[in-house]
C-alpha cells in the first residue's frame, strides 16, 4: 500500500512540476522552435481544467 501511495504522490509531484514549467514557458514567452507551435495550448488547457474538475468531485 505504501508503494502505491508513493507512486501516486510522485506522479502528482511530477505533474505539478511539468505544469509549472509549461506555465512559466507561456508567461515568459519562451519559444524553443520559433514559428512552430509544438504544444497545442487549447488542448493542454482543456486537459488541465478536466483534471482539476475530476480532482474536485466529491467522493462517496
Q: What is the pTM of this model?
A: 0.55
Quick one: what percent of the chain has pLDDT higher than 70?
92
Position 6 pLDDT exceeds 70? yes
Planar angle of CA 20, 23, 26, nearest 5 degrees? 150
For residue 33, what pLDDT is reported?
76
How many C-alpha atoms does 40 have within 13 Å on its Cβ side?
Answer: 4
- Do 38 and 32 meet the contact criterion of CB atoms below 8 Å apart? yes
The residues near 24 (Cβ < 8 Å, ≥ 6 apart) are 30
For residue 57, what pLDDT is reported?
63
For residue 59, what pLDDT is reported?
58
C-alpha cell at 58: 466529491
Convert the pLDDT of each residue in 9-37 to its tens digit. Answer: 888 788 788 888 888 888 888 877 777 77
Amino acid at each position: 500500500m505504501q508503494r502505491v501511495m508513493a507512486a501516486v504522490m510522485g506522479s502528482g509531484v511530477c505533474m505539478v512540476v511539468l505544469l509549472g514549467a509549461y506555465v512559466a514557458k507561456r508567461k515568459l514567452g519562451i519559444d524553443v522552435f520559433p514559428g512552430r507551435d509544438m504544444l497545442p495550448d487549447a488542448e493542454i488547457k482543456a486537459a488541465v481544467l478536466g483534471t482539476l474538475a475530476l480532482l474536485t468531485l466529491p467522493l462517496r
